[in-house]
A and B are shown apart, each in its own frame.
Chain A
Amino acid sequence: MERPPPPPFSSPSPSSQTNLPSTSSFLPPPASIPRPPSPVQPPPRSHTQSNFTITTLKAPILKSHPIDALQSRLGIPIPEMIFGDNHFTLLHTPSSYSLTFSAEPALDLVDKTGSTGLLKVHYATAWSATREKTSAGIKEVVKPFDWSYTTSYRGSETPSQQGKKLEKDEKARIPVELLQRRDPILFADEVVLYESELDDNGVSILSVKVRVMQARMLVLCRFFLRLDNVLCRVRDTRVYVDFGEERVVREYTAREGEFGEVKKKLYMEGLMPDQITIAFRDANQIAHLLPVVEHEVESVCLKEEAGQGQEGR
């Protein structure tokens, strides 16, 4: 790609500064670095392990027209970093069962009317108290919605041809001990679905991570919200697949804690103030400090039963 031509500027007008010394001595040489291609859409990445195929797509954020279209479908303003083309898909090839994670259905679960009670930034009270003096005429609130983009999204499921789908299973669990083994990772990826800086009042991010080993795989779809000086929230959806049993376990865990409490716990862990600031940017350092407020496990076995019922269980 050609470098854009230099703009057609006239020489600086003499009024603003005269007698300019030569500047060529400290300017870097004109760049002759070959131009990288524009941020084109990369192809999807794909990996097949026994009867399962995993696909991820990572594309740039949406352009303004798709953003407008998405906004009118959802009826709420959408996060400024919207990776609307991104997805993670798990497909069980023999049965056509699939579980997909993408931004639009996740945002569709955001409270669009503020019926659940809206969060407010920590200085909201002070703000509205002082502003009454200067601009009391402005009463109209932009259509209320959950601007923290909290979602309980667990993925979009397409049942198998036989109609199998995830069902509540209190006995099912994800075998953490097997996942702690350092089995070689054959495929790994991380896909961000959306992110908002909440006008610099914290962060709200939904992303999906996957790692595939020989015999099993783990997906973590995590929503992380930090509303500065108010609260932290984590909504984790873990999907575990045992390739041999062709069994899918989905575990949803919602955690939430007051900002000050989290800070106290980080302090108790021995972190210095600077380290606490850094920790607050990293959901991995926060999640375990938050009390669990909701937990649910589901499972589905996709193995063809071949008239023998549930073999190997």
Chain B
Amino acid sequence: MPGLPSSVDLDECISRLYKKELLAESVIEAICAKTKELLMRESNVVHVKAPVTVVGDIHGQFYDLIEIFRIGGFCPDTNYLFLGDYVDRGMFSVETISLLVCLKLRYPNRLHLIRGNHESRGVTQSYGFYTECSRKYGNANVWHHFTDMFDYLTLSVVIDDRIFCVHGGLSPSIHSIDQIKIIDRFREIPHEGPMADLVWSDPDPERDEFSLSPRGAGYTFGSQVVKKFLDVNKMDHILRAHQLCQEGYQTLFDNQLSTVWSAPNYCYRCGNMASVLEVGENGDRMFNVFDAAPENDQVKDMQMGQDKMGEQGQLPDYFL
């Protein structure tokens, strides 16, 4: 595998990104190209060993990502598995995904990145990442580099052959792990089919089987679906993200499924806690709960201004 251009020093990039500095467009281009090559060789189902710390949705909340490293340990001292949704909503999607991608390139076996439903061209155009790239770089090239790379992210990870990890959930088209392995994943996330289900579906604790969403697209899956999937694949737990929980995590179906949510005070106004799930060598699971990093306060007014007040910015708001 050819190396990065000699002008790109990964350690220096990582060091700058920890300080929340942006990388040059040409560097992003080189890094994304390199990451594609790396990801291309990953299976749709990546097998990893514990100990590993599992992280849910980040959504561009850069300061909270750094808080996760402070709490859980920095890379590569701690192994990480990220369950997707790195971008959109928060103020620093570019910095967040830049850092994660550089860490992935630098420590490819210590850090794994799963694709979330926001790692897609369609969704990022509506929910902030596209706008942020254009604003910070003056054009959409960086957005193209990143979203082209997203097409190569893996869809699932299995920890110690026991824990199945995915962004959203299960699919009626998938009974065994082998059926995930044959998906052609190198593409934009489709609206339907198993690949869509893996990144989109939600558990429904009140049901047994798959159900259709009243929205006219998408599924929820119930307790029997979870049980069957775990039996068939000889596993004992499903770990996913995708849904906001006030406590930072939620376990369902007799502890057969956990949701881990890692964006505290989501959208800078929900006031929720966040967590990371630490899977130990003996397979035990421990939620490490945390709340928003103190640095968020520095940009709070900006966040609220951008988010809620439109162009006028500051108070007083003479709304009519």
Contacts and interface: CB of A to CB of B under 8 A. Distances in A.
Contacts of A21: 11
A35 interface: yes
B3 interface: no
Q: Is the interface of A mostly helix, strand, loop or mixed?
A: loop
Given A12-B76, A38-B291, A26 B216 contact: no
Interface stretch (A87-95, A157-165, A177-185, A289-297): A177-185
Interface of B: 11-12, 14-15, 18-19, 49, 51, 53, 66, 70-79, 107, 109-110, 117-118, 123, 125-127, 130-131, 134, 172-173, 191-193, 200, 204, 207, 209-220, 243-247, 250, 265-267, 269-273, 278, 281, 286, 288, 290-292, 294-295, 297, 308, 310, 315-320
Interface stretch (A47-55, A98-106, A278-286, A305-313): A278-286
Interface stretch (A2-10, A241-249, A261-269): A2-10
A59 B246 CA distance: 12
A85 to B, nearest CB: 10
Nearest to B220: A142
Given A6-B71, A36-B292, 14 more contacts: A4-B290, A7-B278, A9-B53, A16-B79, A39-B265, A120-B216, A121-B215, A126-B191, A138-B210, A142-B204, A142-B213, A200-B123, A280-B126, A284-B310
Given A26-B14, A28-B18, A60 B272 contact: yes
Given A23-B74, A39-B291, A200-B123, A141 B192 contact: no
A3 B71 contact: yes
Q: Which 6 A-B pairs have the closest CB atoms?
A: A60-B271, A124-B216, A26-B15, A120-B216, A127-B217, A135-B172
A285 B281 CA distance: 53
Interface in A113-139: 114, 118-121, 123-128, 130-131, 134-135, 137-139
Interface string A42-73: 00000000000000000111111001000000
Given A188-B315, A190-B308, A218 B215 contact: no
Contacts of A119: 215
Contacts of A36: 291-292, 294, 297
B212 A138 contact: yes
A2 to B, nearest CB: 12
Contacts of A31: 70
B319 A64 contact: no
B131 A274 contact: yes
Contacts of A128: 216-217
A138 B295 CA distance: 47
A144 interface: yes
B247 to A, nearest CB: 6
B118 A200 contact: yes
Given A38-B291, A199-B200, A61 B271 contact: yes
B200 A130 contact: no
Contacts, number: 214
18 contacts: A4-B288, A7-B53, A16-B79, A17-B110, A27-B18, A28-B19, A34-B294, A60-B270, A81-B267, A121-B216, A134-B193, A142-B204, A142-B211, A176-B320, A188-B315, A199-B213, A218-B319, A284-B319
A118 B214 contact: yes
Q: Is the interface of B mostly helix, strand, loop or mixed?
A: loop
Interface residues on A, range: 35 or more
A3 B72 CA distance: 11
A64 B76 contact: no
Interface in A142-201: 142-145, 147, 176, 179-180, 182, 185, 188, 190, 192, 198-201
Given A28-B18, A64-B245, A121-B216, A13 B49 contact: yes
A256 B269 CA distance: 28
Interface in A206-236: 209, 211, 218, 220, 228
B11 A64 contact: no
A130 B192 contact: yes
Nearest to B281: A10
B84 to A, nearest CB: 13
B219 A209 contact: no
